[in-house]
Amino acid sequence: MTSTSINVPGVPGDGDLDAALRVVRAHLAPTPLVELRSPRGRGQMLAKLETLQPTGAFKVRGALAAVAAYHRRGGRIVTASAGNHGLGIAYAATLLGASATVVVPETASPAKVEALRSYDVELVLHGRSYDDAEDHALTLAARGGTFVSAYNDPHVVAGQATIVAELAEHLDGPATIVVPVGGGGLASGVSLAAKRSQLPITVIGVEAAASRAMSTAIGSGHVETVTVGDTIADGLAGNLGPDSITPHILRAAGTSIVAADEPDIRAAVTELALTAGLVVEGAGAVSIAAVRAGLIDDQDTVVVLLTGRNITASALSELTSAPKAGLP
């Protein structure tokens, strides 16, 4: 696959982006775009509410695009995840009538396991860690199936790119899109779509400061193992696979990456809940955290992607009940 804008092996091309957009438009309603008060009180800040997706997170976009593409070829789709990607694949497979296996570690959250059981997919519990589950999923796929990575898959990347088409219907001038970054599937898709857009769009990725695998890979030109610390933005934490296409896409696109500190991420989750009435998980709130910390030039229009709502009630309660909860 090639792109007319970015020459990186494995990057989704224009045909893949168009196909993903058709699938997403056919099965998902556009998520709302609302105006929020900027934490720094400067330019206009808009928030894209991917929290309102049927699975609670943006990853259903990429899952739909990937399941639709691979289902046409026949065979079983296999993935490993007990989080938003697994739920996205389960939702898409059930919706499109595809055969799918989702492998989760035995230590996975019981709530997420129960959510996965509600879909018409094969659920396999294996191993004590995500790595164990992924190794088993790869083994199953090798016996006859297609493994779909949460981020390192061209159709997944193309599906995440569909956010830009929805945004373009509401923007009429320069804008900065601020995107959470873990494995980089969303940031890569947004960067590719921004290159194709007629609008002057700048894309900035935001990592959790406790997990900087993407910025390290972009800086060095290859994937390196980094130390990953504890963070409430657990959906962004972890290292990248050695064959990941996303660092190369982001590097070629010139997408800059900043890092949000833990106190700012926690404050962003709290502010969104208490002052905007929005339930957003830590990984979904890092864009607001970056604006709050002054890491984003917010004199013009800034679009923050609020990418998921799947935070536990106990974690949200702890944040919102803490002394001096919220932003000044």
CATH number at residue 248: 3.40.50.1100
- pTM for this one? 0.93
Q: Are 76 and 145 in contact (CB under 8 A)?
A: yes
Q: For residue 2, what pLDDT is reported? A: 39
The reply to whether 132 and 167 lie within a common domain is no
Domain-located, residue 245: yes
The reply to whether 213 and 292 lie within a common domain is yes
Q: Is the dihedral of CA 204, 171, 10, 83 positive or negative?
A: positive
Q: Assign 130 a pLDDT band (cuts: 50, 70, 90).
A: confident
Q: For residue 223, what pLDDT is reported? A: 96
Residue type, 61: R
The reply to whether 31 and 110 lie within a common domain is no
Q: Are 101 and 137 in contact (CB under 8 A)?
A: yes
> Could you tell me the residue range of the domain that residue 163 belongs to?
14-58+154-321
Q: What is the mean pLDDT of the chain?
A: 92
Q: pLDDT digits over 261-312, tens only?
A: 999 999 999 999 999 999 999 999 999 999 999 999 887 899 999 999 999 8
Q: pLDDT digits over 174-232, tens only?
A: 999 999 999 999 999 999 999 999 899 999 999 999 999 999 999 999 999 999 999 99
- Integer Rg of the chain from CA: 18
Q: pLDDT digits over 139-185, tens only?
A: 999 999 999 999 999 999 999 999 999 999 999 889 999 999 999 99
The reply to whether 241 and 109 lie within a common domain is no
Looking at the 3D structure of the chain, how many domains does it have?
2
Q: pLDDT digits over 21-30, tens only?
A: 999 999 999 9
301-306 β-sheet, strand order: 33-36, 45-49, 301-306, 175-180, 201-208, 256-260
Establish how many alpha carbons lie within 13 A of residue 50's alpha carbon, considering only the half-sphere containing its beta carbon.
29
| Cα–Cα distance list, 92 to 143, 239, 247 (Å) | 22, 26, 26
